[in-house]
């Protein structure tokens, strides 16, 4: 199993292959549909995004509130195709990778290819397991969205699978 530290760099992406199991460590940002819509509105209005997008990693997740004594509640992936309308623009701004669930559309695959980025799949239904990888959580934007606000997570050994990289796509295997 391969271990990668985020933010991801181009050399690491060049050495990834579809189907590889990877353990991610470093900073990821959670963002779902409503947060993506707000980020798009910000970009259209000439405003900055709530985090540095270059080489960043977005996790399509809306973590549940933390139980007493825990950092985070369940933190499972959301269906990635729900962000297909927003993802190409973010990849074109330098987004390094995304973590989600299920296939992505052709426009997203083309954006991944032209930007030498990567799409990782996380296991749906494993939100409690994934939460064990979270070392810290800080809400950084759109607090009115509750669980769907943008959060910065520090993770260690978060399990994912390479789903789309270069012109390889796990969903066509």
- Counting every residue written for the chain, the total comes to 173
Taking CA atoms, 109 is separated from 77, 114, 171, in Å, by 19, 9, 11
Catalytic residue among 36, 38, 101, 109: 36
Measured CA to CA, the distance from residue 150 to residue 139 in angstroms comes to 6
3-state SS class at 154? strand
Measured CA to CA, the distance from residue 99 to residue 72 in angstroms comes to 18
> How many beta carbons lie within 10 A of that of residue 48, not counting itself?
10
Task: List alpha helices for the chain, DSSP H.
Answer: 10-14, 33-44, 87-92, 106-114, 127-131
Q: Is 17 a catalytic site residue?
A: no
Active site positions, annotated: 36
């Amino acid at each position: 199993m391969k271990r990668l530290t985020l933010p991801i760099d181009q050399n690491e992406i060049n050495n990834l292959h579809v189907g590889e199991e990877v353990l991610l460590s470093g900073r990821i940002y959670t963002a779902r549909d409503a947060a993506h819509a707000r980020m798009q509105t910000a970009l259209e209005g000439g405003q900055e995004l709530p985090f540095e997008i270059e080489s960043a990693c977005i996790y399509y997740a809306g973590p549940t509130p933390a139980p007493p004594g825990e950092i985070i509640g369940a933190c499972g992936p959301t269906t990635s195709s729900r962000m297909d309308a927003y993802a190409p623009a973010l990849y074109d701004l330098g987004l390094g990778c995304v973590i989600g669930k299920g296939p992505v559309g052709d426009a997203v695959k083309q954006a991944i290819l032209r930007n030498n980025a990567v799409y990782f799949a996380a296991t749906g239904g494993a939100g409690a397991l994934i939460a064990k990888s979270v070392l810290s959580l800080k809400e950084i934007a759109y607090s009115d969205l509750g669980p769907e606000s943008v959060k910065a997570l520090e993770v260690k050994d978060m399990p994912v699978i390479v789903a789309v990289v270069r012109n390889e796509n796990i969903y066509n295997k």
